[in-house]
Amino acid sequence: MTEGDYFHVYVVMELEDARLVPVSLEMLSEARRLIDNLNKKHGSDEKVVAVLLGHDVKRLTQTLIEHGADFVVYVDHPELKEVRNTIYTKVVSQIALDREIAAKVSAKYAEQFKKPRFMFFGADAIGRHLSSTALVELDSGLASDINKLEISDINLTHQNKTGGKQELYEKTLEMYRPDFSGFLWTTILCLDNKNPAIKRDYHPQACSIIPGVFEPLKPDSTRKGQVVEFVPRIDEQDLKVRILSRKAIKSDVDFESRKAVVSFGRGIRDFPEQNIKLVEGLAKQLGAEIGVSLPISKKPFSVSESLASTYMNSERVIGTSGKKVSPMLYVAVGISGAMQHVAGMKEAEFIVAINPDESSPIKDESDLFIKGRMEDVVPKLIEELKKQSSLVEA
């Protein structure tokens, strides 16, 4: 295969309860930006292709065009009403490899087209699994949980990929993924093996994108695009997987309706059990829901079973890999302020940080920085809060 065999970005849409999951439009927006830059730089005419699977979904195709898609491939089938990984993987892969569809997307590249150049999925309960299985089916690489993308031409000398020689990789997707600490960015590339000893094509270059990172485009009803229906081949065998029921449940953790959120991080380390109880006390005085930083969800400290199961879980994580909150008051207790956490709380109206280290990044995200150890500061705050409320009541 030559460099010329791959075109376009295919963006896999997600639906729940017949509505688009927001990450779908966020991905379209970023795909639009990237492809516009690419076309401008190379004088090409590659497209943003939205791939939409479901039942009774044609009504959504116009919305996708208004939000940046040049082309919508939709599949309308009763068996696609709910996501079943096997069926979805096969249908998405069929579309990605379908040369008739590619010819409709762009006549200009119809002859050469072998595979999409790029593919985007949502990094969530649908897209994570679907991207993983689809990229095995398409036999290419995948980077997960991406929050920044760029397309560049990269000169690379790599022992394995290029056999130690310098090679140019054109139109390469740089996929930035924040690591678990929130302080490091790892850039992942998906590259063909140009090394003659192990020559191999690895396209599409694919990734899953963290929900809430990119802003969707404002809908523009003057945008033009094409819509085409794809008729899938569904294996009888795969229909033996039956969804018996689906029920939406309300979470016990409720950030939405609370005025305040108190979150804690690794700063509880010296006395984890007592310190979590202090945080509970502060939250109670403020009528706040309790959040945590990502490291806490990994249960780094040994505390009683009840505290661990209540607080050390992913449901309470605030940040890019958790929830975004925007309360009137946000209190960060013993949180250093990694970017991935800040992304989840920066929209709060008033932010208070309690931290002994004035140089920690959370200071630049706070309105009020209380310098001190949480063991010392939080009890005083609780006491003062109690005092001030009893004054009001009196």
Partner 1 sequence: MTLNVAVIIKLEPDFSEGSVSYNPDGTLNRAETKNTLGPHSAVACTAAFYAKVMYDTKVSIATMGPPIADTSLQMAQRISDAEELHLYSDRIFAGADTLATAEVLKTGIQKMHGKMDIVFSGHRASDGETGQTGPQTAWKLGYTFFGNVVDYEVNVENRTIWIKRLVSLQGFNQVVEEVEAPLPVFIAIDPSYKPTFKTVSQRLAYEKYQKEAKIRSDNYKQYLKVLNVQQLEVDPALVGLPGSPTIVYKVERIPKGKANRQAQVIDGSNPEHIRMAVAKMKEALAAMVIK
Give, as ranges, the residues between 159 and 218 that touch partner 1 (CB under 8 A): 159-161, 174, 178-191, 193, 198, 200, 202, 211-212
Residue 122 CB, shortest distance to partner 1, in Å, is 8
The amino acid at residue 84 is R
The least distance separating partner 1 from the CB of residue 108, rounded to whole angstroms, comes to: 27
Cis amide prior to 361 (ω within 30 degrees): no
User: CB-wise, 63 or 140, nearer to partner 1?
Assistant: 140
Region 211-250 residues binding partner 1, contact defined as CB under 8 A: 211-212, 240-250
Written as one string, the DSSP assignment of 250-295 is --S---TT-SEEEEE-GGGTTSHHHHHHHHHHHHHHHTEEEEE-GG
Complex with partner 1: residue 16 or 103, whichever CB lies closer: 16
Residue 327 CB, nearest approach to partner 1 (Å): 9
Task: Mark residues 112-141: x for contact with partner 1 by CB under 8 A, - for none.
Answer: ----------x-xxx-xx-xxx-xxx-xxx
When asked if residue 390 is in the footprint of partner 1 (CB under 8 A), the reply is: no
Q: How many residues bind partner 1 (CB under 8 A)?
A: 115
Distance CA 121, CA 116 (A): 13
Chain center to CA of 351 = 25
Contacts to partner 1 from residues 43-72, by CB under 8 A: none
The stretch among 96-104, 108-116, 221-229, 376-384 that binds partner 1 (CB under 8 A) is: 376-384
Pick the closer one to partner 1 by CB: 165 or 269. Answer: 269
Residues across the chain: 394
Closest C-alpha to 308, from 318, 296, 291: 296
The tokens for 220 are: 């523009």
Find, among 25, 28, 24, 45, the residue nearest to 36 by Cα: 45
Q: Which of residues 281-310 bind partner 1 (CB under 8 A)?
A: 286-287, 295, 298-302
Contact status, residue 262 vs residue 290, Cβ threshold 8 Å: yes
Identify residues 335-354 at the interface with partner 1 (CB under 8 A). Answer: 336, 338-339, 342, 346, 349-354
